[in-house]
Amino acid sequence: MMTKHGGGFGGVSARERREADLFYADLMGRRTSIAAVDRGRARSETLAEVATATAWTPLRADEIDTASNTDKFAAQTFETTIPLRTDAGRIDTPVSIFMPRLGRSANFIQVHVFFSPGTATQAGLTTRPAATSTAGFNAVMMHGLRGSTDASGWIMIGVPGREPGFVAMDAADIATCLGEINPGSRYQASDIGAVRLSAHSRGYRGLKATVAAGTIPVAKIDRVVIFDAVYASLNAALGAARIPGSKQFAYQVNVGTRLSATGATNIALDAAAMRAIGYSRLIADTSAAARVIGATVPAFTGSTLTLPPRGTFTTRAGAPATMTNINAFAAANRTAIRSIVSGELAAGGAKTYIDANNLTRLFQPTRPFDAAILSHHLFVAELAHEIVD
DSSP codes joined into one string, 12-53 = --HHHHHHHHHHHHHHTT---BHHHHTTS-S---BPPPSS--
Lowest mean pLDDT among 32-36, 77-81, 225-229: 32-36
Question: In the prediction, which pLDDT does 53 show?
Answer: 85
Which of the four pLDDT bands, split at 50, 70 and 90, describes residue 129? very high
- CA-based R_g, the chain, Å: 21
Last residue of a domain, one of 269, 294, 325: 269
Rounded mean pLDDT, 185-208: 94
Q: Does residue 357 belong to any structural domain of this protein?
A: yes
- Say whether both 226 and 286 belong to one domain: no
- Answer whether residue 255 is part of any domain: yes
Residue 207 to residue 161: CA distance in whole angstroms? 10
Helix (H, G, I), strand (E, B) or coil at 259: coil
Q: What is the CATH number of the domain that holds 149?
A: 3.40.50
Regarding whether 251 and 219 lie in a shared domain, the answer is yes
Considering the domain architecture, whether residues 217 and 355 belong to the same structural domain is answered as: no
Same domain, 250 and 293: no
CA atoms within 13 A on the CB side of 78: 25
- Say if residue 264 is in the same domain as residue 279: no
Q: How far apart are CA 246 and CA 248, in angstroms?
A: 6
Residue 358, Ramachandran bin (φ over 0: left; ψ between -120 and 50: alpha; else beta): left
Q: Tens digit of pLDDT for each residue in 12-52?
A: 334 433 444 443 444 333 333 333 333 322 222 222 233 47
Residue 73 domain flag: yes
Q: Are residues 112 and 256 in the same domain?
A: yes
Q: Which pLDDT tens digit goes with each residue over 327-355?
A: 999 999 999 999 999 999 999 999 999 99
Residue 83 lies in a domain: yes
Task: Name the band, by pLDDT with cuts 50, 70 and 90, for residue 108.
Answer: confident
Q: Quote the pLDDT of residue 103.
A: 62
Based on the fold, state whether residues 208 and 248 are members of the same structural domain.
Answer: yes
Q: Is the domain of 195 the same as that of 297?
A: no
Q: Do 289 and 162 share a domain, yes or no?
A: no
Is residue 121 one of the residues assigned to a domain?
yes
**Which pLDDT does position 182 carry in this prediction?**
83
Residue span of the structural domain in which 283 resides: 271-386
Write down which residue in 221, 243, 269 finishes a domain: 269
Say yes or no: 308 and 378 in one domain.
Answer: yes
Same-domain status, 322 and 253 = no
Asked if residue 283 belongs to a domain, the reply is yes
- How many whole angstroms separate alpha carbon 56 and alpha carbon 68? 14
The residues near 329 (Cβ < 8 Å, ≥ 6 apart) are 273, 277, 308, 313
pTM: 0.87
277 and 331 in a common domain: yes
47 belongs to a structural domain: no
Residue 365 pLDDT exceeds 60: yes
Backbone angles phi, psi at 192, to 5 degrees: -85, 125
250: three-class secondary structure by DSSP: strand
Q: Is residue 149 part of a domain?
A: yes
Domain count, the chain: 2
Q: Choose the final residue of a domain: 213, 246, 269.
A: 269
β-sheet bridge partners, residue 91:
84
Count Cα neighbours of 298 within 13 Å in the Cβ-side half-sphere: 11
Label residue 4 by pLDDT band (50, 70, 90).
Answer: very low
How far is residue 202's CA from residue 38's CA, in Å, rounded to a whole number?
A: 48
Average pLDDT, the chain: 87
Per-residue 3-state assignment (H helix, E strand, C coil) for 172-223? HHHHHHHHHCCCCCCCCHHHEEEEEEEEEHHHHHHHHHHHHHCCCCHHHEEE
Of 191 and 86, the structure prediction assigns the larger pLDDT to 86
Q: What's the rounded mean pLDDT across residues 207-231? A: 97
